[in-house]
Amino acid sequence: MSIFLYIETNGIVSLAQKRNQAIESLLPNLSKDVQLILSSICYMEALFAFQQDKKRRNLFNQSLIIEINEARRSNLNISQLFNC
């Protein structure tokens, strides 16, 4: 007798990002009778979510770099004023 375990988008994303310990501990302990089912739409949604998260992280990193560079320039200008 086979048991089917259907995994949706949130399950895939939380597993990949290690946000849900329950899912992480469940998968290695599954019986051989359990078959995982993943629909193609959930797979595509998970890929899209990963891509969007990557874009957000890249934008955040770029913003940080810009702010750090501006802060460095401001510090240089202030220190140059005091040296004159």
Q: Where along the chain do its domains lie? A: 3-83
4 forms beta bridges with 35
Does the pTM surpass 0.85? The reply is: no
Question: What does the block give as tokens for 33?
Answer: 């009778």
pLDDT (tens digit, 0 to 9) for every residue of the chain, 84 residues total? Answer: 788 988 888 888 888 888 888 888 888 888 889 888 888 898 899 999 999 999 999 999 999 899 888 888 777 665 565 665
Which of 65, 9, 7 lies closest to 34, judged by CA?
7
